[in-house]
Amino acid sequence: MNTILVTYATRAGSTYEIAARVAEVLRAAGASVEVKPVTAVHELTGYDAVVVGSAIRMGHWLPEAVEFVKTNRETLSHIPTAYFVVSGLLRNETPQMRRKVLAFLDPVRALLEPVSIGLFAGKLDYSTMDGLDRSIAEAVSSAEGDWRNWEAIGEWAHELQLVLAHA
């Protein structure tokens, strides 16, 4: 894989930080990697692979990430494409919770099945959230915290590099 796009949808920045870490690992393996929000990607020409990540909000990938896959489904079907999910639910990482979070991807997987999926816990920092998201988090009594496992993110990105190289 020579040129990889890592694109993401985020509400408070945690998903961007995970996308940047994935890109860092892919670059260390020799790939040329661009990191952009899904709303800033207007062309996929020139990419050998695409990684799409999104935060989960109300049990769904963010709408702009879903729209990105819908809009680019034809092009993405011809190049290796991976997904990653960032969900606070994974702070309690159990096999049952991983299955629940994985199911949030079902609508996107129906559009395009990825070559790899990363499931990661996120971060909740009220100071970086807009009013609506903060209200939702407070209503369900979500405690602030950073549950991202950087080692697991790096391991997935390293494995992803191998998958993309052979896809």
Note the pLDDT tens digit of each residue in 95-118. 999 999 999 999 999 999 999 999
Query: What confidence category does residue 128 fall into, taking pLDDT thresholds of 50, 70 and 90?
Result: low
Residue 89: the pLDDT is 81
What pLDDT, in 10s, does the model give residues 30-66? 999 999 999 999 999 999 999 999 998 888 899 999 9
Domain tally for the chain? 1
Whole-number Å distance between alpha carbons of 107 and 115: 16
Whole-model pTM over 0.85: yes
Give pLDDT tens digits for 60-74.
899 999 999 999 999
Percentage, residues of the chain above pLDDT 70: 86
pLDDT band at 166 (very low <50, low <70, confident <90, very high): confident
**Region 140-161: what's the mean pLDDT?**
84
56-79 CB burial, b ≥16 within 10 A, e <16: bbeeebbeebbebbeebeeebeeb
With bands split at pLDDT 50, 70 and 90, how would you rate the model's confidence at 150? very high
Q: Would you say residue 127 has pLDDT above 70?
A: no
- For residue 118, the enclosing domain spans 3-166
**Tell me: the pLDDT tens digits for 72-96?**
999 999 999 999 999 888 888 889 9
Q: What pLDDT is attached to residue 54? A: 97
What's the CATH number where 127 sits? 3.40.50.360
Long-range (24+ apart) CB contacts under 8 A made by 59-64 are 59/104, 60/104, 60/107, 61/9, 61/85, 61/104, 61/105, 61/107, 61/108, 62/9, 62/10, 62/11, 64/9, 64/38, 64/39
